[in-house]
Chains A and B, each alone.
Chain A
Amino acid sequence: MTVLLQIDGVSKRYGGVQALNDVSFRVERGRIKGLIGPNGAGKTSLFNCVCGVLRVDSGHIRYAGRDLHGLAPHRRARLGIARTFQTLELFRELTVLENLMVPVDAAARRGMLADALRLPRARFEENRAGERAHALLHFLGIAEVAGIPGGDLAIGIQRRVELGRALALRPTLLLLDEPAAGLDSRETAELAGVLSRIRERFGTTMLLVDHDMSLVMRVCDDIAVLDYGRLIAEGPPERIREDPTVVRAYLGESAA
């Protein structure tokens, strides 16, 4: 197993809060890694550091052997890092198909003139991207909404479109920030199935943050646990479930 993502002694502080404190773990290629922890444990901060929205104070994030330090988010996206968001971030005025294709278009990095005039090469690219986008919508079981503006969809469908948009980039690493938030138990079970199928079909490596233990325990190969910005445990689901430190962190939260 080769390491795809390596988090190495990462710390991040804002204001008086130490969001991440010397966190280190690795994600192996083709695996689904869970990242759990009570609210405010630093999960989203870590995501933002990996995709480049936040700059780490110290430590290194290596992706496919390369230090990501100083790379802008759009450059990281082009390296194959895609993410979904805790809050819905579909482009509301763009159709579902356009939502899937715009990031692909942006990643293709054609000249502005080719984009503006839709020169034949650009059009060809767009058709291929369009075909792929259609195929993805089919794969996700939402082919019928292709022409509807993102803002007009039900939450459950929007989540799937978001997943499709991330997949349209054919990511090597997919960061999933609470994909089950707002879903009922049936939808969550469906989501678990979709995530497993994605890995089977595309071999995508995933880092999954969620509060829903049923989802995390079901789909993840192994799990890292954060508490107050610190990594307190790491290992396969069955061991994490029994880990006294983890149990205490969660009980401590519910007792508070």
Chain B
Amino acid sequence: MSHAVIASLSGFSLLPSYTVIGLTLGGVYALAATGLVLIYRVSGVLNFAHGAVAMFSTFVAYQISVVAGVPSPIGLLAAVATGAALGFVIEFLTIRPLAGRPPLTKVAVTIAWLLVLQTAAGLIWGSTGYHRPVQLVGSNGFTVPFTNVVVGYDQLTIFLVAVGLSLGTSALLRWTSLGAQMRAVADDPQAARLWGIDVDRVSAASWMIGSAMAAVAGVLITPLLNFDTYSLTVLVIDAFTAALIGRLTNLPLTVVGAILLGLVQYYPKAFFNQAGLSELSTFVLALITLAVVFRPGLAASRGRG
């Protein structure tokens, strides 16, 4: 007990640098969550394979940039292509044929994909031990003026890229033709079809864009955690928690929720050195969100009107 108290007193000095880490992590969650929400809104499917898609795509980048030594931006592009391709394949082969089936059936299919991708990655890259992360930017940094807080250029890049892409997706939905079609499909797929919108094509686009975002999130996050097939697959839990805060529909609120989640996961670590602490924080935040934001019955239905 006294040990914990001492630890908690020294924790305050860690808060500024943990804020930096929390924000960085939160930015990546925002990106993953935005992709998840995009897919959910347009196609009505909660994609449990979202993290697995991120993981598999990131291992492609790892293979190209870490193993083969090709410059990391090319590895990132390969991950994006892999993510988009996986999104297309999942939608085209296993979601589209289930049109008209209960949402739960489609969710079950995404869980199957999670297992398939997890197993495949384990067979190819090994399911034990950590891998060297894909470094996009060197880990040099700068000290924030008038403080002793050091911000890494990699952290800054991750945060800016992630948040920029998330907000870019909001803009895509808001301002482009494809975005308007996506909102129309999200609103009422049947009516959208009757109004000449190729619902299958718009839905496939949402899976491809959403999964490509998961891939970018996966590559960005590898330097921040122990990079293996498991840790990235469960990224879907963090993304889902952030998405809950945005009620599974509101993208800007999802970004805010993701950043909040990043901070909530890191702050307790400043005070207590306990394994599983950030998972506990995520769980508590998700429960609070469910209790506060959602009323019973809302979670099962699609966000309309």
A contact set with B: CB distance below 8 Å: 51, 53, 72-74, 77-78, 83, 85, 89, 91-94, 98, 101-103, 105-107, 110, 112, 115-118, 122, 126, 151, 165, 169
Instruction: Report the minimum CB–CB distance from A120 to chain B (whole Å).
Output: 13
A51 to B191, CA, bound (A): 12
Provide a sorted-by-A list of 22 A–B residue pairs whose CB atoms are within 8 angstroms.
A72-B193, A74-B195, A74-B199, A78-B196, A85-B194, A89-B191, A91-B192, A92-B305, A93-B186, A94-B180, A102-B180, A102-B195, A103-B197, A106-B196, A106-B198, A110-B177, A112-B201, A115-B178, A116-B176, A116-B178, A116-B209, A118-B176
Q: A74-B198, A78-B196, A92-B187 are in contact. Are A106 and B305 (CB under 8 A)?
A: no
Contact B194 A91 (CB under 8 A): no
Using A102-B184, A116-B176 as known contacts, list a sample of 19 further A-B pairs with CB atoms less than 8 Å apart, ordered by residue number in A: A53-B194, A73-B196, A74-B194, A74-B198, A91-B187, A91-B192, A92-B187, A92-B305, A93-B183, A93-B187, A94-B180, A94-B187, A98-B180, A102-B180, A106-B195, A110-B177, A116-B172, A118-B176, A151-B305
Instruction: Report the minimum CB–CB distance from A93 to chain B (whole Å).
Output: 5
Classify the interface of chain A: helix, strand, loop or mixed: helix
Residues of A within 8 Å of B195, CB to CB, are 74, 77, 102-103, 106, 165
Interface check B175, CB cutoff 8 A? yes
Classify the interface of chain B: helix, strand, loop or mixed: helix
B contact set with A: CB distance below 8 Å: 172, 175-178, 180-181, 183-184, 186-188, 191-199, 201, 205, 209, 304-305
Instruction: Please provide the 8 A-B residue pairs with the shortest distance between their CB atoms, ordered closest to farther.
Output: A77-B196, A115-B178, A103-B195, A106-B197, A106-B196, A89-B191, A115-B177, A105-B177
Residues of B within 8 Å of A85, CB to CB, are 191, 194
A85 to B187, CA, bound (A): 16
Residues of A within 8 Å of B199, CB to CB, are 74
